[in-house]
Structure 1
Amino acid sequence: MTSQLPAEHQLLDAAEGGIPSAIADLGRLVRIPGIAWPAFDQEQLRRSAAAIAELAEGTGVFDEVRVLRARIPGTDEEGQPAVLATRAARGGRPTVMLYAHHDVQPPGDDALWETPSFEPTVRDGRLYGRGAADDKAGVMAHIASLRALHETYGDDLDLGIVLFIEGEEEYGSRSFTQFLSDNAEAMRSDVIVVADSGNWDSETPAVTVSLRGNAKFHLTVRTLDYASHSGMFGGAVPDAMLATVKLLSTLWDDAGGVAVEGLAVRDAQTPAYDERTLRDETGLLEGVRPIGDGTILSRIWNKPSITVTGIDFTSVAAASNTLSPEVTVVVSARVAPGQTAEDAYAAIERHLRAHAPFGAELAFSDVDLGNGFLVDTSGWAVELARGAMADGYGKDPVDYGVGGSIPFIADLVERYPGAQILVTGVEDPHSRAHSPNESLHLDTFRHAVRAETLLLARANARTV
């Protein structure tokens, strides 16, 4: 582990002392149901941004705190409110950008939550609630670390800091690139810390070094001009559901691996991770086998996957004896790091068109693409982060791949090619982000705040 500098015990005392108020503030943020989907109350996102701006002001470290919006490219529509707080570097010190997002996923079926989704509830060492982990805990890890720095250094802090808290990450970061363009100089940084990932487990920190890309789209399958009686014509007329089921089944092989020609696989080693751990972390039923081949983590980190995440079709309650003319599904593909999302989507579309059964008509819409990312681990910031995590958690970090996607990282790299990217987070494998009963392991949060406080303090000791 990295040896401590003389003032670091004071920093850690300040970080530890601020944890109760940080958790209380996190609870207040969780109570604000800020969801960027148009079907939800957009006033809640404005409330959420205003609350975070107030927290940023309260740290005492920033020269300026603003709530801003940017236009969504190609439209006249504005994106959701983001918080941008800046502090100029002094004495040749670097500038560090701290990113998180304050919007959250919809809660889903309220009946599946053990406690109300937007009522923060602590039980068994975890804080439950939508956004408690993803990503309002990331917001509060930044705020808590900045509070500890200000308490320890006061006006002697020379580090440049950009706090950027986005308001539409869960809805595709639609105004992200324009926001970067509008505020390019104000946001220019030497190091960018993206607090929207996870850890190896609740005790072991991780530096995320790879992320899969994503290619999501709507597929509509059509076989009839109108619905017909399934008894009168069934057996001769293919309905849209039959065509859809047969078509979708061609996307996977018998083992459940992706069977689409042209989708790449990354060749990289993965740490040991057994099936028992997979079952524990995912709730996989005892009689259900994992899909794919190769090591389990290679399937999640380095190979593509395809999931059908939604369908427009007659509900069970409203079902009738009818041949359906049209079915629409949402297809969500994860793309191996190193392949562009555009190339992956093109391969999937080619495959589907080539395998359309019975001459069914296919239409593709709502295409959403985001590239994966491979972190350059050779810079000083990664080593600084590893040392800070080791001292903050009391355990050496592991290099970690993530099966999920954070497409805007590629936009940050394009805008600031010289910046070093650190992808960190406060989640553990049982956080259930995006799912009912999302939660934050409170001791993991405490260690994350300790680690980030040390990282920023050590960056403050460097010159660029």
Structure 2
Amino acid sequence: MDQSLLDAVEGGLPAALADLGRLVRIPGIAWPAFDQEQLRLSARAIAKLAEDTGVFDEVRILTAEIPGGGEQGQPAILATRAARNGRPTVMLYAHHDVQPPGDDTLWETPPFEPTVRDGRLYGRGAADDKAGVMAHIASLRALHEVRGDDLDLGLVLFIEGEEEFGSRSFARFLADNADAMRSDVIVVADSGNWDSETPAVTVSLRGNAKFHLTVRTLEHASHSGMFGGAVPDAMLATIRLLSTLWDEQGAVAVDGLDTRDAATPDYTEATLRDEVGLPQGVQPIGDGTILSRIWNKPSITVTGIDFTSVEAASNTLSPEVTVVVSARVAPGQDAADAYAAIERHLRARAPFGAELSFSEVDLGDGFLVDTAGWAVAEAREALRDGYGKDPVDLGVGGSIPFISDLVREFPGAQILVTGVEDPHSRAHSPNESLHLETFRGAVRSEALLLGRLSERSL
């Protein structure tokens, strides 16, 4: 059956990539400032793809309520097939919403016009995570081609519509549909690989703690010439305050933020420079091995600021500045504890008696995979056979906070975090792209995994 599945994957790849291109053309962004009809169009397109695989008993487009206000979340696709004859049920997760494109002038080709160049497919969502959607669809097509209706494996396809916007209705969606979604194995296709040729099983993810910090020093703006030198403006206070978050090496300097003690593979500074585009004159920050800084230690980044633009700048002492602070939390530390440590740190160091206020707090716990389960062993073998290389156990510096919701709702499920990205995919950045051979390996591996699980009895 393995060879039949691989043959079916090869035959189906052109159609899968064509369908991926059509999905990339749909600018489905969950931010309210963007056209929400595009998300509904994306959901309908994926529901049709799920129906056409021929494997599901039921395909629905659903929403769930966002806690604290009655607003509905963005549309998700839920397709189900009941297990038969003691076979396991496998949930396949991905998300169809994408990041905003950002500055169009930084894209070499239009962000929502899929373009193949040098073995890569460029476009917003081409990698994150519409390729994950199509890896699921393509592997299911291959499975149906080989097995037809003679398939006892239970299947749940869950394609979320708001992952890039915080998965606000995720937990409620799981609770509303728990019986239909209950699974023995959950495959989350929203991570990456060691490189474009070497697959990976993601075994750790950092958590996140994001919030808005407002620093206020004046009741109103004042003339910077008349009062500058005696009156602290909000920008001065903000700069001084934020600088306390890091030491001279750029490592986080906040008491109460944990570090995970775990070995990391060899990874050179030259590789880091190549993968991230770090110029020779700019030095990496932090201490310890490079991968320990990314996988096992906290980081803090200021990702936004509300302040006067350069064009509108005037000789004024600013009364108030608001910044967005995004912290990544070491795997194993509770995100709420990490946020509390950062808030304590900032309140204790407010310069010149500045008033601090905190809002828009968004927390998500990290994740550590139990690598002893049979599903991880099956996944490693499928990845090895699908890519032709032994997989690497990978830590990821990013966060997938909803995994903690999956663990809470389905405590008996084994969770596998895989993906179609490689280090040059530039997810969330201009010129996002998918390496086509990596996609091929991902589909081959998932088809093999599903085929083998279809023969497994619980």
Kindly indicate whether residue 377 of structure 2 is the aligned counterpart of residue 383 of structure 1: yes
Q: Equivalent residue for 2:62?
A: 68
Kindly indicate whether residue 56 of structure 2 is the aligned counterpart of residue 56 of structure 1: no
Q: Equivalent residue for 1:320?
A: 314
Kindly indicate whether residue 240 of structure 2 is the aligned counterpart of residue 264 of structure 1: no
Q: Equivalent residue for 2:190?
A: 196
The SS at the match of 2:325 is: strand
The SS at the match of 2:152 is: coil
Kindly indicate whether residue 217 of structure 2 is the aligned counterpart of residue 227 of structure 1: no
Kindly indicate whether residue 330 of structure 2 is the aligned counterpart of residue 330 of structure 1: no
Kindly indicate whether residue 269 of structure 2 is the aligned counterpart of residue 275 of structure 1: yes
Q: Equivalent residues in 2 for 1:111-130 (5 A)?
A: 111-130=105-124
Displacement of 1:212: 0.2
Q: Distance in 2 between matches of 1:173 and 1:75?
A: 15
Q: Equivalent residue for 2:392?
A: 398
Displacement of 1:436: 0.3
Kindly indicate whether residue 77 of structure 2 is the aligned counterpart of residue 83 of structure 1: yes
- Residue 160 of structure 1 is aligned with which of 154, 157, 171? 154
Q: Distance in 2 between matches of 1:405 and 1:107?
A: 20
Q: Distance in 2 between matches of 1:17 and 1:279?
A: 37
Kindly indicate whether residue 429 of structure 2 is the aligned counterpart of residue 435 of structure 1: yes
Amino acid at match of 2:102: G
Kindly indicate whether residue 418 of structure 2 is the aligned counterpart of residue 420 of structure 1: no
Q: Distance in 2 between matches of 1:249 and 1:38?
A: 33
Unaligned runs of 5+ in 2: none
Q: Equivalent residue for 1:368?
A: 362
Q: Equivalent residue for 2:454?
A: 460
Displacement of 1:285: 1.2
Q: Equivalent residue for 1:180?
A: 174
Q: Distance in 2 between matches of 1:376 and 1:163?
A: 23
Q: Deviation per CA, 1:422-444: give whole Å up to 9, x if none.
A: 00000000000000000000000
Q: Deviation per CA, 1:101-125: give whole Å up to 9, x if none.
A: 0000000000100000101000000
Q: Equivalent residues in 2 for 1:220-259 (5 A)?
A: 220-259=214-253
Q: Equivalent residue for 2:40?
A: 46
The SS at the match of 2:148 is: helix
Amino acid at match of 1:431: S
In the superposition, the TM-score normalised over structure 1's length comes to 0.98
The SS at the match of 1:66 is: strand
Q: Equivalent residue for 1:4?
A: none
Displacement of 1:85: 0.1
The SS at the match of 2:308 is: coil
- Residue 139 of structure 1 is aligned with which of 106, 115, 133? 133
Amino acid at match of 2:84: R
Q: Deviation per CA, 1:114-156: give whole Å up to 9, x if none.
A: 0001010000000000000000000000000000000000011
Amino acid at match of 2:70: D
Displacement of 1:315: 0.5
Displacement of 1:75: 1.4
Q: Equivalent residue for 2:353?
A: 359
Kindly indicate whether residue 143 of structure 2 is the aligned counterpart of residue 149 of structure 1: yes
- Residue 343 of structure 2 is aligned with which of 349, 361, 366? 349
Displacement of 1:27: 0.4
Q: Distance in 2 between matches of 1:199 and 1:118?
A: 24
Amino acid at match of 2:446: E
Displacement of 1:91: 1.1
Q: Distance in 1 between matches of 2:181 and 2:317?
A: 55
How well do the aligned residues superpose, as a CA RMSD in angstroms?
0.4
Displacement of 1:157: 1.2
Amino acid at match of 1:390: R
Query: How many aligned residue pairs are there?
Result: 458
Q: Distance in 2 between matches of 1:71 and 1:459?
A: 34
Q: Distance in 1 between matches of 2:255 and 2:35?
A: 42
In the superposition, the TM-score normalised over structure 2's length comes to 1.00
Q: Equivalent residue for 2:31?
A: 37
Q: Deviation per CA, 1:163-199: give whole Å up to 9, x if none.
A: 0000000000000010001100000000000000000
Amino acid at match of 1:342: A
Amino acid at match of 1:29: L
Kindly indicate whether residue 327 of structure 2 is the aligned counterpart of residue 339 of structure 1: no
Amino acid at match of 2:78: L
Q: Distance in 2 between matches of 1:160 and 1:180?
A: 18
Q: Distance in 2 between matches of 1:307 and 1:165?
A: 29
Kindly indicate whether residue 110 of structure 2 is the aligned counterpart of residue 110 of structure 1: no
The SS at the match of 1:173 is: coil
Displacement of 1:231: 0.6
